[in-house]
Amino acid sequence: MLTSLHEYQSSFDPISDRIRQLIRQRILDGTYKAGQRLLETDLAKEFRVSRTPIRDALRRLDGEGLVEIIPRKGVVVTGMSPDEVLDMFELRMVLETLAVRRACQRITPDMVRTLQEILDQMDRARRDNLEDELSNLHIQFHQMIHQAAGSPRLYDMLSSLTDAIRRFSKNTYRVSGRDQQAMLEHRQILKAIVDKDEERAAELTRQHIAAAKSAYLRLVGDAVDRQAAE
């Protein structure tokens, strides 16, 4: 995971792109919260650069929808409404079932071994309550399946969805029993892929996403109940 600009000193990427990647990571992992203002002066001071590469990085993040540049207010980290999140789940269900069907046809033995290793690491992270690590491994698992589908365009579409979803997806593991159930779902999906059973893999994927959606709705409902009680 990206943690500081110092990690990029040996990179040949432009400084503005390195800064964009780091700010992007902080937004995706929740370090920068929805609604938070990002000040060019503060970022320039932190990264020890002029405001020009900061401004360029923020402009590109605005194009990605991760921040919004508001006249006379500055740069604000964007959020998603519950309706927008639910729309993401619907899109994910359509695209991921397509990806898993294609993965059944194209996955390699090396990819299968990598997926099995990721699941083992996820299980250890779950038992050790390493929430961030579990979330990152969860994303790696699905991205590997997206890659196995063998369609760069589909992969790019799913990557865009994954970036949006990862901003809240790790919270669904906080629902009682969801982490353990999700592990079982992942292993069942992988087995169906290895067996090249497209129908079962697609159905298990639909069930997995539906369960994640239900967990999210439960979290939203609990938050509303807490606000009403205050």
Number of domains in the chain: 2
Q: Which residues, in sequence order, are CB contacts of 118 under 8 Å at separation 6+?
A: 137, 140, 141, 144
Same domain, 73 and 88: no
Band of the pLDDT at 81, cuts 50, 70, 90? confident
Report the percentage of the chain scoring pLDDT > 90.
57
DSSP-assigned letters across all residues of 17-54: HHHHHHHHHHHHTTSSPTT-EE-HHHHHHHHTS-HHHH
Q: Are residues 61 and 103 in the same domain?
A: no
185 and 155 housed in the same domain? yes
The backbone torsions φ and ψ at residue 73, rounded to the nearest 5 degrees and listed phi first, read -120, -35
Domain that holds residue 32: 5-77
Any idea how long the chain is? Answer: 230
* 22-54: pLDDT as tens digits: 998 888 877 888 889 999 999 999 999 999 999
Q: Are residues 118 and 145 in the same domain?
A: yes
Query: Among the listed ranges 6-10, 14-18, 48-52, 82-86, which one has the minimum average pLDDT value?
Result: 6-10
Residue of higher predicted confidence among 170 and 51? 51
CATH of the domain at 211: 1.20.120.530
Q: Above pLDDT 70, what percent of the chain?
A: 88
User: How far is the CA of 115 from the CAs of 12, 33, 144, 219, in angstroms?
Assistant: 31, 31, 7, 29
215, 107: one domain: yes
Task: Quote the pTM value.
Answer: 0.77
